[in-house]
Structure 1
Amino acid sequence: MITVHHLNNSRSQRILWLLEELALPYEVKRYQRDAVTMLAPAELRQIHPLGKSPVITDGEAVVAESGAIIEYLIERHGDGRLKPAAGTPELLRWRYWLHFAEGTAMSPLLMKLIFNKVQTSPMPFFAKPIAKAISAKVLKGFVDPNLKSQLDYMEAELTQRDWFAGDEFSAADIQMSFPLEASAARAGLDASRPRLMDWLQRIHARPAYQRALKAGGPYDYAR
């Protein structure tokens, strides 16, 4: 039996969604973030030394990292589903977006989260103006321009095809869901990029996505 070690409001929601799309049996073991630090609980280190989510167990196998989990499940249990055929341009795009999601896309999103917290976190009064000035400069000069160029790029890609890998929905779209949901929540993705917003509406309407929400519990990024 596949077990998803699921952390609330995390990338592991994608794994639940993938399993629902593949109609595979699985069980969920839930973990809650610390309400103050928002970090994963120490119990997750019993599954994987880094104590992060997502991580799955499948028999003796322990698989961590979203992209690796998706590839493992598709190759072992997918029976050719949610992955383009070998030797096609769609497969090359599929691999690209599978890695883009956690490589290029997430870095500025994480930086934005961190520097926004710097501006609002408690600190000695004499340090606050300096910290706010530094974070504002980094956001304006580096983070926000990178986020804008990435969103523009993804918007342009979806003017050429319905889904990230091609004309068919695939696991690449599942992998891309988290950075785009996070972008809509905190990085300026809105109606000014209609193709991306339409894509978000279409993935959220999928029955398997809705079943995954019920399986995983509250997930703020789906709003």
Structure 2
Amino acid sequence: MLTVHHLGISQSERIVWLCEELGLDYELKVYDRRADNRLAPDEYKALHPMGIAPVITDGDLVLGESGAICDYINAKHGGGRLAPSPDHPDFADHLFWFHWSNGTFMATLMMQLVLTMSGNAESAASGFVGDRNRRGWEMIEHRLGEAEFFGGSQLTTADIMMVYCLTTSRAFRDVSIDAWPNVKAYLQRIGARPAYQRAMAWAEPGMSPKLD
């Protein structure tokens, strides 16, 4: 049985959404963050050596890492429906945004958050990270002005990866998207998807999706 282990307000919401988009039969186990430090509880950390979300189990398999999980579920349980084939015109764009999400953009957001929390928001490093962050948002805005989805003409796992960066991750920082009209329009389209609505209702029942 495929089981999604979801840590509240974390990247594992992506996997819940993926399963809903694919219409899969899966089990959802939700874990609350610790009250003292807002990190994962010990029982979640025990699931995988990294001790971070997301994690799935599928029979004897234990798998972490958002991108790996998306590829695994889409290929093994979803018939590959949410990834274009190599001969599809959207293939390269899908690959770029799928890997850029955590490989570059989410890493930049995390660096920015750590600098702020450590009191180094005005340091030279912060200027470097801030510039990377600005260029990232500009790339996203441009992409969503030329294509309906990050992966191109249809929703793909690139969108599953990117949407968390634009929505729930902002719960950890004061970030407005008012300057990015294409982003706002895109998030309204995502928010209207029944699968996304179901996923967020299951994963974050006490939190309204950050779609604006």
Does the 8 A contact of 2:4 with 2:27 survive in 1?
yes
Q: Deviations over 1:96-142 (max 9, x none)?
A: 111111111012211221222223xxxxxxxxxxxxxx431246522
Q: Considering fraction of residues, name the structure with more helix.
A: 1
Q: In the aligned structure 2, how far is the partner of 1:171 from the partner of 1:102?
A: 13
- Asked whether 1:59 is paired with 2:59, we answer yes
Q: In the aligned structure 2, how far is the partner of 1:221 from the partner of 1:102?
A: 23
- Asked whether 1:169 is paired with 2:155, we answer yes
Q: In the aligned structure 2, how far is the partner of 1:96 from the partner of 1:117?
A: 30
Map of 2:43 onto structure 1? 43
Map of 2:193 onto structure 1? 206
Q: In the aligned structure 1, how far is the partner of 2:178 from the partner of 2:20?
A: 29
Map of 2:122 onto structure 1? 136
Q: Deviations over 1:1-60 (max 9, x none)?
A: 111111000000010000000000111112121223221111123321221110101112
More displaced, 64-73 or 205-214?
205-214
Code of the residue aligned with 1:118 in structure 2: it is S
Count of aligned pairs between the two proteins: 209
Bigger-Rg structure (1/2): 1
Q: In the aligned structure 2, how far is the partner of 1:219 from the partner of 1:178?
A: 17
Map of 1:68 onto structure 2? 68
Q: In the aligned structure 2, how far is the partner of 1:53 from the partner of 1:165?
A: 24
Structure 1 unaligned blocks of 5 or more: 120-133
Give the match's secondary structure for 2:128. helix
- Asked whether 1:20 is paired with 2:7, we answer no
Map of 2:177 onto structure 1? 190
> Judging changes above 3 Å, is the alpha-carbon distance between structure 1 residues 5 and 184 closer, same or farther for their aligned structure 2 residues?
closer
> Judging changes above 3 Å, is the alpha-carbon distance between structure 1 residues 30 and 205 closer, same or farther for their aligned structure 2 residues?
same
Q: Deviations over 1:186-207 (max 9, x none)?
A: 3644222111111111112211
Alignment identity in percent? 41
Measure how far apart 1:92 and its partner are.
1.6
Give the match's secondary structure for 1:115. helix
> Judging changes above 3 Å, is the alpha-carbon distance between structure 1 residues 220 and 81 closer, same or farther for their aligned structure 2 residues?
same
TM-score (norm 2): 0.90
Pairwise CA RMSD of aligned residues?
1.9
Measure how far apart 1:219 and its partner are.
6.6
- Asked whether 1:96 is paired with 2:87, we answer no
Does the 8 A contact of 2:168 with 2:209 survive in 1?
no
Does the 8 A contact of 1:181 with 1:221 survive in 2?
no
Give the match's secondary structure for 1:162. coil
